């Protein structure tokens, strides 16, 4: 007992004395682990040598010109954008409708819905990927754009619902009653009151869904058939042959496009203003 | 054209599963009246309000607003507006946009809307607050915005679901005056739900007292305070001390009660308070009755009263100084009695044996309530 007590006492003194230092070091280590690989990729995209060795001897834009002349690479960027920009609104709409239904109506098994919707996140991706490919084969839908979009919707709905559903569940319903009391019907109330107030969650869910879709590899790999080459798929096929700095250029382009699209979404929806108010 | 009642509630019953929230409610509210529905929590008062607003549908019965049956009519087609308990101000809109909301839904043109909004801001004394967000305002200011939003469309009735409950005492009193002022200015009928008898007594013209889903009594505040028809109403509208007793003799002029401290004669034609005794009509000898006394009507004295004046005995248990008056808790053989005396009187120390006397006019007789539910008598 006293040994335990003194151990706690020691721990407490230790935390008291070194707590701020430990906290700061943890932040540095975590941020390095997150950002160092990205910084390396960006730096290496300017490497003059044909091989990946750090630090590069000379810097060059050569590989960016190589990329710009690579039609397959550029078309893969556009394919990815097309898939994600189509899949994300579908996902957001479905997740919003589902959340509205769950928060509004009573039905059997309602409490299980939240778990059932988000649980697929932990199912091994390859298992679902194979299942999707088999399913599309079974219903005689081959690979192609819409198969990939459907797979992306399946992949991203749990993420969008994870954010949108709780917001609906905690939404103050008396705001809707006030709206109806003041003369707005159900549809006007949803449009004027419900939607603006849950918009931050819808945008956040949409951005998360978009980034997951943009990076999606495994489902796409299984259901794409031939010809559909999203950027992650293209990258994968490239590094199987040889690793040149062009792969890094592709990664940088990938990163820039993703960040730009998210920024556009943020600006368009004025999310910072909305989150501030709610 | 005959003037309709603003609200008519007829034989309204509301059941939630096996729970009867409101039982056979009947009342009318006249145009321009300020009426409170008063009852303890769970008495069904909010349910009545929500049925008038259209958020709940009566199981049976009918509700009319300005003579039009509204059961089955959705809230957005009813000529009533509500001030919600949590106010429910739209957080994504400014103060002016909140007030404007109802006008927009009614397709009022923009110029008129702006004019009406600034008039409303003036009425609730929030000039210059139009561009603020609701969460930047204090609790009292938010109340005013909610009120302005509810009256801007000039509905037949504004419904209040205890919106003042969250305010501190001083602000609440201030808002009560404001409500009365605004109601007088606008002439709109107000129906106010509360569990706080002080609010109900001070702001309303008439009160509807509710208990366990059943209306106990309806009347002006004076009627309900001075001539309560049941011990529940009397007790709810001010403290009451009850002496259980049995009727031993009953004549045209006197009723003789047997308490465990001897017999007490009550004169039946003693003036104004006779009303109360008449309400205990139908009582026979041998039946139990409560002799009830308001704290202000009792006086304390250390010597036994002379010439047959009725009294009971007790002991001072504690004493609270309240500025111009002193509240005593007196231990009696039945219960602890609350007695309020002027601060100028001689102060009694704890443990002093006292005699409690009362003026003849200060007594109420009630049939003892079974549990908390008294027997309501039809008006």
CA distance B105 to chain A (A): 6
| Beta-sheet pairing, B80-83 with B157-161 | parallel
Nearest CA in chain B to A177: B55
Nearest CA in chain B to A276: B92
> Which residues in chain A have their CB less than 8 angstroms from residue B133's CB?
277
Strand order in the sheet with B241-250: B262-267, B254-259, B241-250, B288-293, B363-366
| B91/A185 Cβ within 8 A | no
Tokens (6 digits) for B287: 């039946």
Instruction: Kindly give the parts of chain B with pLDDT less than 50.
Output: 1-2, 270-275, 278-280, 370-379
- Interface size A-B, in CB pairs within 8 Å, comes to 65
CATH code: domain B231-366 is 2.40.50.100
**Which residues of B fall below an 8 Å CB-CB distance to A?**
53-55, 74-76, 80-82, 84-86, 88-92, 101-102, 105-106, 133, 135, 149, 153
Residue A183 has its nearest CB partner, among B82, B92, B106, at: B106
CA distance A274 to chain B (A): 7
pLDDT attached to residue A51: 62
| A192/B75 Cβ within 8 A | no
| A180/B101 Cβ within 8 A | no
Cis peptide before A55 (omega within 30 of 0): yes
Residue among B46, B56, B76, B94 with most chain A CBs within 10 A, to mutate: B76
CA distance A15 to chain B (A): 39
Q: What is the CA radius of gyration of chain B?
A: 25
CB B233 within 8 A of CB B221: no
B279 CB contacts (<8 Å, ≥6 apart)?
Answer: B229, B377
pLDDT attached to residue B299: 85
Query: Buried b vs exposed e over B104-127: b needs ≥16 C-beta within 10 Å?
Result: bbeebeeeebeebbeebbebbebe
CB B24 within 8 A of CB B18: no
> Which residues in chain B have their CB less than 8 angstroms from residue A177's CB?
55, 75, 82, 84, 88
**Which residues of A fall below an 8 Å CB-CB distance to B?**
172, 174-175, 177-185, 188, 192-193, 196-197, 274, 277-278
CA distance A190 to chain B (A): 13
> Which residues in chain B have their CB less than 8 angstroms from residue A187's CB?
none
A269-278 long-range contacts (CB < 8 A, ≥24 apart) are: A269/A199, A269/A203, A271/A199, A271/A200, A271/A203, A271/A204, A274/A196, A274/A199, A274/A200, A274/A203, A274/B92, A275/A200, A277/B91, A277/B92, A277/B133, A277/B135, A278/A197, A278/A200, A278/B91, A278/B92
Nearest CA in chain B to A173: B88
**Measured between alpha carbons, how far is B368 from B164 in angstroms, rounded to an integer?**
33
**Domain locations along chain B:** 7-226, 231-366
> Which residues in chain B have their CB less than 8 angstroms from residue A179's CB?
90, 101
Q: How many other C-beta atoms can be found within 10 angstroms of the C-beta atom of residue A246?
A: 19
| B88/A172 Cβ within 8 A | yes
- Residue A158 DSSP symbol: H
pLDDT attached to residue B374: 38
| A184/B76 Cβ within 8 A | yes
| A178/B82 Cβ within 8 A | yes
Q: For the segment B78-107, what is each residue's pLDDT rounded down to a tens digit?
A: 999 999 999 999 999 999 999 999 999 999
CA B48, B51, B52, B55 torsion-angle sign: positive
CATH 3.40.50.300 assigned to B7-226:
yes
**Measured between alpha carbons, how far is B255 from B162 in angstroms, rounded to an integer?**
42
Task: Give this complex's ipTM.
Answer: 0.81
pLDDT attached to residue B3: 56
Residue A188 has its nearest CB partner, among B80, B91, B105, at: B105
| B81/A180 Cβ within 8 A | no
Nearest CA in chain A to B100: A182
All domains of chain A, ordered by start, with CATH? 1-44 (no CATH), 63-277 (1.10.3720.10)
pLDDT attached to residue B210: 94
| A177/B88 Cβ within 8 A | yes
> Which residues in chain A have their CB less than 8 angstroms from residue B70's CB?
none
pLDDT attached to residue B371: 38
| B75/A185 Cβ within 8 A | no
Per-residue pLDDT of chain A (278 residues; tens, 9 = 90+): 567 778 888 888 888 888 888 889 999 999 999 999 888 888 888 887 766 677 777 788 888 888 888 888 889 989 999 999 999 999 999 999 999 988 888 888 887 887 888 888 888 999 999 999 889 888 877 778 899 999 999 999 999 998 899 889 889 999 999 999 999 999 999 999 999 999 888 988 998 899 899 989 999 999 888 778 898 898 888 888 777 777 888 888 888 888 888 888 777 765 555 544 44
CB B158 within 8 A of CB B79: no
A50-55 long-range contacts (CB < 8 A, ≥24 apart) are: A50/A244, A50/A245, A51/A243, A52/A243, A52/A245, A52/A248
Which is nearest to A165 in space by CA: A192, A205, A123, A195?
Answer: A205
Nearest CA in chain A to B133: A277
């Amino acid at each position: 007992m006293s040994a335990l007590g003194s151990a706690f006492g020691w721990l407490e003194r230790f935390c008291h004395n070194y707590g701020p230092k430990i906290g700061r070091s943890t932040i540095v280590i975590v941020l390095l682990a997150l950002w160092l690989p990205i910084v390396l990729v960006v730096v290496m995209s300017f490497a003059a040598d044909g091989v990946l060795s750090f630090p590069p001897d000379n810097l060059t834009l050569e590989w960016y010109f190589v990329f710009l002349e690579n039609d397959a690479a550029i078309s893969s960027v556009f394919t990815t954008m097309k898939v994600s920009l189509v899949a994300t609104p579908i996902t957001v709409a479905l997740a919003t409708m589902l959340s509205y239904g769950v928060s509004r109506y009573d039905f059997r098994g309602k409490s299980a819905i939240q778990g059932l919707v988000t649980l697929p996140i932990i199912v091994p991706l390859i298992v679902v990927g194979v299942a999707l490919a088999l399913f599309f084969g079974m219903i005689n839908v081959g690979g192609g754009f819409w198969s990939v979009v459907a797979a992306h919707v399946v992949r991203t709905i749990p993420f969008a619902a994870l954010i949108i559903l709780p917001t609906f569940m905690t939404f103050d319903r008396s705001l809707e009653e006030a709206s109806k009391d003041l003369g707005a019907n159900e549809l006007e109330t949803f449009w004027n009151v419900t939607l603006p107030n849950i918009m931050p969650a819808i945008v956040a869910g949409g951005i998360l869904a978009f980034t997951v879709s943009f990076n999606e590899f495994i489902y796409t790999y299984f259901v794409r058939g031939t010809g559909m080459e999203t950027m992650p798929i293209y990258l994968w096929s490239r590094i199987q042959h040889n690793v040149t700095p062009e792969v890094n250029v592709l990664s940088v382009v990938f990163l820039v496009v993703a960040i730009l699209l998210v920024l556009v979404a943020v600006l368009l929806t004025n999310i910072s203003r909305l989150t501030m108010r709610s | 054209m005959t003037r309709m009642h603003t609200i008519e509630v007829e034989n309204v019953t509301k059941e939630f599963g096996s729970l009867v929230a409101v039982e056979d409610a009947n009342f009318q509210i006249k145009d321009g009246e300020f009426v409170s529905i008063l009852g303890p929590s769970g008495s069904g008062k909010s349910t009545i309000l929500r049925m008038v607003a259209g958020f709940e549908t009566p199981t049976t019965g009918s509700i009319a607003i300005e003579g039009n049956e509204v059961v089955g009519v959705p809230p957005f087609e009813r000529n009533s507006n509500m001030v919600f308990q949590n106010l429910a101000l739209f957080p994504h809109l400014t103060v002016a946009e909140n007030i404007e909301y109802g006008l927009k839904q009614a397709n009022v043109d923009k110029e008129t809307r702006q004019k009406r909004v600034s008039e409303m801001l003036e009425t609730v004394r929030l000039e210059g607050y139009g561009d603020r967000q609701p969460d930047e305002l204090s609790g009292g200011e938010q109340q005013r915005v909610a009120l302005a939003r509810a009256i801007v469309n000039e509905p037949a009735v504004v419904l209040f679901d205890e919106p003042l409950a969250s305010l501190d005492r001083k602000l609440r009193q201030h808002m009560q005056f404001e409500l009365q002022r605004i109601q007088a200015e606008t002439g709109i009928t107000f129906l106010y739900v509360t569990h706080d008898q002080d609010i109900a007594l001070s702001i309303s013209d008439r009160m509807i007292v509710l208990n366990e889903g059943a209306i106990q009594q309806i009347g002006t505040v004076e009627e309900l305070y001075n001539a309560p028809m049941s011990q529940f109403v009397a007790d709810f509208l001010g403290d009451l001390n009850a002496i259980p007793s049995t009727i031993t003799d009953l004549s045209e002029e006197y009723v003789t009660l047997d308490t465990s401290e001897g017999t007490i004669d009550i004169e039946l034609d003693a003036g104004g308070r006779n009303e109360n005794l008449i309400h205990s009509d139908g009582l026979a000898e041998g039946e139990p009755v409560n002799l009830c006394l308001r704290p202000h009507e009792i006086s304390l004295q250390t010597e036994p009263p002379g010439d047959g004046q009725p009294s009971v005995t007790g002991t001072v248990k504690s004493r609270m100084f309240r500025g111009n008056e002193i509240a005593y808790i007196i231990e009696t053989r039945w219960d602890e009695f609350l007695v309020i005396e002027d601060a100028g009187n001689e102060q009694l120390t704890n443990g002093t044996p006292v005699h409690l006397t009362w003026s003849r006019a200060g007594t109420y007789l009630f049939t003892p309530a079974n549990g908390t539910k008294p027997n309501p008598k039809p008006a």
